[in-house]
Amino acid sequence: MAALAAVFFASLAQASEYHGQVTFNGLPLPGATVTATHETKSLATVTDQKGSYSFADLPDGSWTVTVAMTCFTPVTQTVVIAPNAPPASWELKLLPLDRIMAGLKLAPSQGALALRADAAPRNSAAQNAAVTDATRPTDDATQRPSDGFLVNGSQNNAATSPFTMSQAFGNSRTGQRGLYTGGLSISAGNSALDARPYSLSGLSTPKPSYNQFTAVLTLGGPLNIPHLMPRGPDFFIAYAWTRDRDATTLSGLVPDAAERSGDLSALLDATGKPLVIVNPATGQPFTGSIPVSPQAAALLRLYPLPNVPGNPRYNYQVPVTTATHADALESRLDRSIGSKDQLYGGLSFLNSRTSGANLFGFIDHTATLGISANANWGRRVREGVYTTTGYKFSRLRTAVNPYFKGRENVSGEAGISGNDQSPSEWGPPALEFSSGIAPLFDAQSAFNRNRTDGISSSTTWNHGHHYSTFGGDFRRQQFNYLSQQDPRGTFAFTGAATSASAASPSAAAGTGSDLADFLLGIPDTSSIAFGNADKYLRQSVYDAYFTDDWRLRPDLTVNAGLRWEYGAPITELHGRLVNLDVASGFAAVAPVLGSRPQGPLTGEHYPSSLIRPDKRGFEPRIGVSWRPLPGKSVVVRGGYGIYDDTSVYQSTALELSQQAPLSKSLRVQNSAACPLTLADAFNACSSTTADNYAVDPDFRVGYAQNWQLAIQTDLPAALQMTATYLGIKGTHGVQEYLPNTYPDGAQNPCPACPLGFVYRSSGGNSAREAGQIQLRRRLRSGFAASLRYTYSKSIDDDSVLGGAGQVASAGPEGIVIPQPAASPMIAQDWRNLRAERGPSTFDQRHLLNLQMQYTTGMGLHGGTLMTGWHGRLLKDWTVVSSLVAGSGLPETPIYFATVAGTGVTGNIRPDSTGAPLYSAPAGLHLNPAAFTAPPPGHWGAAGRDSIRGPGQFSLDASIARTFRWSSRLNLDMRVDSVNLLNHAVFTSWISVVNSSQFGLPAAANPMRSLEISTRLRF
C-alpha cells in the first residue's frame, strides 16, 4: 500500500495531527526548528511567519519534541501523541548574554541544550507521561571545534545551518524566488528481487510473477492568487498512486481420489492400526467403501486434488497472488488572521481496490472508499492563553464481493436448504474438520459505511510555574452495515457420528472419522445466522480533561490531571437489537428487544441499547520528572494513569443485531432427538435456545491502571542508558462462557435449563509487568545505535486479551494496545472461570531490539570529506539495520469436540499426559503424545495458552544516499530489504491435538524482499 494510503488509514485510526505555535514574549517566533523523534525516526519542520508549525500525521505514541533557535534556550519534552489533541504552545527565552557570546564561539553542533519544556501535553495519554528534563548539556558538546565538519544523520527541512539541507529550502531561501517546495517519489519492486515464498509441504512451487509500484507527488507553499488572494494560506498537497501485486504459498490437506469415492481404508488410528469407522445406521463397522451423500459429493467438487506426493499432512500446495490498487490524496491549508487567530485544516481521500485468492482458488474483491477532513480555529486570547476549536469528519465505505456472488448457487445446486440463497449470498457453506482437512470457506458479502463527526475544544494557560490545559471532545459515530453474520451457515465434523462410542457408550472413544461423517452427510454441529441485513448502529463518545504541568523547581516537574471519558452503549436506529432476559441462575431466558426493552421474565426495564451505560470513566493521571543530582545527567521519571476501553460495544452490538426474532440464528448439535444432515441441518429441530448470544445488561467498561518508573543517565562515548519498569493492571475485562453446560459423559445437572447461547460479561482481570533496559548511542562520528531488551510477564482470564479475540501489545508507555483478530475465546467451564487464567496471548517473555545507523556524512557546505572521486563516491550514504529477536507467543491446546447440547466447538482443552511437549518426532515441533482426550465426564486439565509458539526473528536493512544536484534540486535513492537473511520464521504451531497436523507450523512469515525508492525534491 502506498505511503499516503497508510497515512490515511492512520488518520482514521492511530495517527494524529500535531501542531502548535512558538512564541517569544507572547509574540510569534518564525524560523524556530521543531523536531519530533521516536526511536530512530526523526521528523522536523520550521515555524512560519506566525510562529506556527504542523506535523500532518504523526503516528500515535511517545515522541520527544525539541524546539530550538539560535540565541534562545532550547526546550525539550516527551509527549504522547493522541487524537483530537490541543495545539502545543512553546515560549522560548533568550540565553544570558554571556551564554550567547560563548555559544557563538562553538561549532554549530555544540549549541544545543536539552532543557525543560513548556509544550502543551496531549489531551489523553500525555497526562500520564513523566515529562520535562532539567537543564543539562547534550553529548554533542563533547565534539571538538577542530572536527571541522558535522555528520548529518537525519534530514531537517530547514536551513538553520549550512550543514543540514540546501539553503533553497524553508525560511532561509535567499533572493526573491518563491517558497514552493515539492517532491516526486517512486518505489518499485519485482518478483525477481524477492525470494521464493516458504513451502510448508516441502514442494518447490513456482514463484508467480508480480510487480510493485508506488508514486507519490507532493507540493507545498503559499497559495497566492494575484488580485484575488495576494497573501493566501499556506498549502500542502500530496497524491499517491499504487499498483501492487504480491505472492504467497498456501498449503493444506485435501481428500485424495480414493477418499472422495468413500474408500477410507488408508486411515489409521493413534496406534497405527486401520481406523474403525462405524455405520451410524446399524452400529456395526463399515466393511467396504462408505456411501457418499449427494451434498458431500457436490461440495467435494470445490476441493482440489492433492499435488504433493508423499506428505500425509500437507498434500496440496498452490501459489496465490494478491493485487492492490490504491489512489490516495492528502491536502492541508493553514492561514493566520492578524496576530491572534489561525485557521488550519486538512482533507484526505483514499480509493483502494484489492483482490486475493484462497487455497481453493476463490478470488474475492474488496473496495474501500474513504474521506477524512478537519477544520480548526486557534486564537491567542491574551498572553499565555490560547484556545482551539475544531471539527473532524471521516467516512469509510467498504464493499466485499465474494467469488460466488451472483455466479453460482452452490448450496441450492447441492440440495442444501435452510440457509440464505439470495444471489448476493451464493456460495458454499463453511466446513470445519477436526483432523486437519482444509476448512472450506469464502468471504461474506458486505457493504458497510462508517462515519464519525467530532468537535473538540481546548484551552492552554501558561501562568507562572504552571502550564495548564483543559478541554473536551464529542464524537458521534455511525456504523451502517449491509451484511450478514453467517448467511450460508457452518457445518463442523468431529467423527462423532461414525465413532464406536456413538453406537455403544461403553466403547472406547477416539475412533470414527470426521471425513467419514462428511461423506455420509452427518455433521456433528450446524450453525447459521442471517436476516436483518441492514443495521444502523449509533454511538456517542464524550470526554473532558484537565492537566497541569507544574515546574516546582528547575530539577523537578510534576504533570497531573484528570480525564473523564464516556462511550455510550451502541443503539440501533430502529431499535433492532435483541438480548436475552435472564432469570436468576440462568434457569430461563427470553428475548428482549431494543424496540420494547422490558424483560418478559424479570420485568426489568432496559435502555434501548439493552446495556446500561457506564459513566464511571474517571481517569486520574500523574507524571513526575526529577533530576536528583545537580549537575549530573541522572533523570528519574515516573507516572501513573488509568485508561478506559470504550471500544468494547461495537462487536457486542453486531451480535445483538443478528438474533431471533429479527433473524435466524441457531447452533445445533446432532443427536438422536435431533438428527442432522447436510440437506436439512439448518431447518432441524433444536433443543437449544433460539438466540445464541447474550450480554450482561450491567456490563462494565474495562479499564487499565498503568504505572512506570524510569531512570536515565548518560555514559561516556555518547552513550545513554535507561532502565524502566512498567506495570499494567486490567479490570473488568471481557469474559464469554456457555451457561448450563457440562462435560461430555457427565449427567446434565439441569435438564430444564436453556443451553446453546454464549454469555458475555465483564469479570475478567489481567496483569502485565515488564523490565526494560535500553542503551542508546547518540549520533557521533556517523554512528548511532539503540539496543533495548525487555523481559515481561502477562497473565489474564480475559477472553479478548488472552483468547483469540484480539492480539494485544504494549505501547511505548506500557499501555496495552489491542488489535482485532478472530472471535473471543469461550471459557471451557462456565462454573470455573478461574481456570481460564493463564499467560496472555501477547506474553512474550524476552524481546531484543537492535537498531543501528551509519552515515558517511559530508564536509562543510555540503562538500566531500575526501578529495577526488573517492570523496564524491563515499559522501552522504546512510545505512540502517534493524534486528528483532524474541521468544514465542503462547498458544492454547484445543481438543476439537462439541460442548454437549450447544453446537459450539473449539473451546475444549485436552488433558496433559506428562510426556515432554517439545521432544517432538521428526517433522514436528510439538509432541502429540503430550496430550490426550479429556476423560468422560471431565473437562480437559491442560492450561490455557500452555504451549509456547515459535520464536521471533527478523533482520531488515536499508541503504540510502542523497545526490545534491543543485541548490534547489536533490535526489534521494534508497534500497530497503525485509528479512535480509531470508530466514524462515513461523507464525504459530497448529495446536488442535486431535488433528493430524498437530505440531506443524501454521504459516511462515514473508521471505526476503527488496524495494527500490527514489525521491526528487525541489
SS3 call for 196 = coil
- The percentage of residues in the chain with a pLDDT greater than 90, rounded to a whole number, is 60
> What average pLDDT does range 674-697 have in this prediction?
84
Contact 110, 146 (CB under 8 A): no
Taking 50 as the threshold, does the pLDDT of residue 150 lie above it? no
pLDDT tens-digit readout, 218-240: 998 888 777 666 667 888 899 99
573: left (phi over 0), alpha (psi -120 to 50) or beta: alpha
**Is pLDDT of 868 > 90?**
no
pLDDT for residue 760 is more than 80: yes
Q: Which pLDDT does position 137 carry in this prediction? A: 31
Model confidence at 53, in pLDDT bands (50, 70, 90)?
confident
Higher local confidence (pLDDT), 224 or 713: 713
Handedness of CA 97, 103, 105, 108 (dihedral sign): negative
The rounded percent of the chain whose pLDDT value lies above 70 is 80
Cell numbers 526476503 correspond to what residue?
A: 1008
Alpha carbon 740 to chain centroid, angstroms: 35
For position 32, what pLDDT does the model report?
75
Q: How confident is the model at residue 1017 (pLDDT cuts 50, 70, 90)?
A: confident
Distance CA 678, CA 700 (A): 41
995 and 435 Cβ atoms separated by less than 8 Å: yes
Query: Per residue in 19-29, pLDDT tens?
Result: 777 877 656 67
520-549 average pLDDT score: 94
pLDDT of residue 92: 75
pLDDT surpasses 90 at 314: yes
State which of 151-155, 817-821, 925-929 shows the largest mean pLDDT.
925-929
Give pLDDT, residue 871: 66
Q: How many CA atoms lie within 13 A of 804 on its CB side?
A: 13
Query: For residues 511 and 594, which has the higher predicted lDDT (pLDDT)?
Result: 594
> 991: burial class by Cβ within 10 Å (0-12, 13-18, 19+)?
buried
In this predicted structure, the answer to whether residue 14 has a pLDDT above a threshold of 90 is no
- pLDDT at position 160 is 34
Summarised one tens digit per residue, pLDDT across range 940-973 is 999 999 999 999 999 999 999 988 887 778 888 9
Which of 61-75, 261-275, 459-473 is predicted with the least confidence, judged by mean pLDDT? 61-75
The cell numbers describing 182, all together, are 515539492
Residues in the chain: 1018
The pTM (predicted TM-score) of the whole model is: 0.80
Give 802 or 347, the one with higher predicted confidence: 347
One-letter amino acid for residue 953 of the chain: F
User: Could you give the C-alpha distances from 567 to 617, 650, 765, 905, 933, in angstroms and in order?
Assistant: 9, 11, 21, 33, 44
Distance CA 623, CA 320 (A): 51
pLDDT of residue 908: 94
Q: Which amino acid is at 342?
A: Q
Peptide bond between residue 751 and the one before it cis (omega within 30 degrees of 0): no
Q: Is the pLDDT of residue 865 over 90?
A: no
Q: Mind listing the pLDDT tens digit for each residue in 93-121? A: 766 544 444 443 333 322 222 222 233 33
- Higher model confidence: residue 442 or residue 101? 442
Q: Above 80 in pLDDT, residue 882?
A: yes
C-alpha cell at 887: 521468544
What is the Cα–Cα distance from 354 to 843, expressed in whole angstroms? 33
Q: What is the pLDDT of residues 763-792, one digit of tens each?
A: 999 999 999 999 999 988 889 999 999 999
**Helix or strand (DSSP H, E) at 515:** helix 514-520
pLDDT of residue 124: 33
pLDDT of residue 68: 77
End-to-end CA distance of the chain: 25
* Cα(560)–Cα(249) distance, integer angstroms: 52
Closest to 236 measured CA to CA, from 339, 157, 353: 157
Match 514465542 to its residue by C-alpha cell. Answer: 888
Alpha carbon of residue 254 to chain centroid:
32
